[in-house]
Amino acid sequence: MLEPTSLQTTGRVASAIMDYMRLPTFLVGDDATLLYRNAAGMAALKDGDCFREADDTLFAIHPADNARLRAAIAGTCASGERHTIMINDVRNPRPYLVTAVSFQDDEPPVKKSAIVFVQKCEPEDDTFARTLRQLFRLSAAETAIAAGLVAGADIEHIAESRHAKITTVRTQIAAMLLKTRTRRQGELIALFSRICSLP
pLDDT digits (tens, 9 = 90+) for 102-123: 987 666 565 788 999 887 766 6
| Domain 125-197 fold | Arc Repressor Mutant, subunit A (1.10.10)
Specify the fold of 11-120: Beta-Lactamase (3.30.450)
Cβ within 8 Å of residue 28, ≥6 positions away: 34, 35, 58, 73, 113, 114, 115, 116
**CA nearest to 132, candidates 84, 180, 93:** 180
121 contacts 94 by C-beta, under 8 angstroms: yes
pLDDT digit string, tens, across residues 3-27: 444 445 445 555 666 666 678 889 8
| CA separation for the pair 171, 78 (Å, rounded) | 37
Which regions of the chain carry the CATH code 3.30.450.20? 11-120
